[in-house]
Amino acid sequence: MAEIPPYPLYNRSYLLYRLSPLHTPDASLLTPSSLKTHAQRLTSQLKGDSLRNFDLGINVDPEGSTLASLGPLEHCSWDSLGDEDAWITQHRHLVDADTSLVSTQQGTQIRGVQVTLDYEKTSYNALLLCDPDHITSPPSFTSLPLLMLKMPAPIREIFLNYLATAFDTRHAPLDLSSSFLTSTLETYLRRLTTPNSPQTVKSIVNEVSLQLSFDSPSLSHIDVTLAADDIPKFLDRGKHINPDTPFTAALSLYLKSHMALDVSHPGVNISRLSCAAFNLGNDRIRFSVPEATEISMMSSSETENSDLSPAQLAFQDVYAALVREAAGKGMFLTTGEDARGTGSSTPSAEAAGGARRGMARRGRPRSVARGT
């Protein structure tokens, strides 16, 4: 039997954008006929004379080198994207005609739209996403506030222009703050350190790497790496400083004490944070596949969904927080709190309350200073 392709949110690096509601007065964007129509129209722009039409207001690669190197566009598709369970069942049905889709279609919530561009030599995709538990669309609009793009610049510009002209929507890069990056890590750590968790910080997060960027002409950034064995020590110490964000609190104290670095200073920015579970920057993200555990290993009293592992729950928390951030509702700190991550809110705290579905399988910090 052929392998089921990975869920689109996993194992791919995406640029992040926020997207205003898409104007869809005649029908919902999520209907099969509407998706097919937009796939055809985008195909005509990518393949046809529109690439040379100066009145589109876009600057296509003047030499055509990027587009030419990809080969011809072989297929363009727009498809509704459900949760991971729906994805697995859908593709299982494609390789096994005896598999029924009825049971998963009922009750499945649509997360958004996946646009796939298959060229002769490679493929690219875009994800227009929402959190169906919290996002509602105004009349004649479809709200998909989180836009994730994996495309080279010339194709990305054409695609963004198509969204603007076809849906009267506006986009902007999603500039994630330092507090969002640290809150994402805090979410994973909190989930993995609950009592009786079958997963450990070392197995899911492993070592943690941060990039501290500076508003300085003499030093662009410093990379700090913490070994997996050191993270529990930071958590234990941080619980006595700020139990809501223990890792961030302990890391801030360590950097200030040992390196004279004040991460709360406005000239210091955490521009990248990566671990085995995710790689997150100010404008991009990559999620690894969150590992599952046997259902029998989980207690229903430990989590909102007893069939989801702590890693899966953490991913769901962060996904919901990303959507809210894109929608302009992602304030992780209450008014007046420090924007460098010392506040009490985390993505998991923001996302708690709504059970989310669709998650089937699957010593000391060392620092290196780099100048410009």
DSSP 231-247: HHHHHHHHTTT-TTSHH
For the chain, 372 residues long, give each residue's pLDDT as a single digit of tens.
Answer: 467 888 999 999 999 999 999 999 877 898 999 999 999 999 999 886 444 444 444 445 544 566 778 888 999 999 999 988 888 888 776 656 554 444 444 445 789 999 999 999 899 999 999 988 877 788 899 999 999 999 999 999 999 999 999 999 999 999 999 999 999 999 999 999 999 899 999 999 999 999 999 988 888 999 999 999 999 999 999 999 999 999 999 999 999 999 899 999 999 999 999 999 999 999 999 999 999 986 534 443 444 556 899 999 999 999 999 999 999 864 433 333 333 333 444 454 444 444 344 444 344 444 444 443
Does the predicted TM-score (pTM) go above 0.95? no
The DSSP 8-state label assigned to residue 31 in this structure reads S
> Does residue 358 come out as left (phi exceeding 0), alpha (psi in the -120 to 50 range) or beta?
left
Please tell me the total number of residues recorded for the chain in this structure: 372
Q: How many angstroms separate the CA atoms of 328 and 145, rounded? A: 9
Q: How many angstroms separate the CA atoms of 188 and 224, rounded? A: 19
Domain boundary assignment for the chain: 14-173, 178-370
Q: How many angstroms separate the CA atoms of 301 and 194, rounded? A: 11
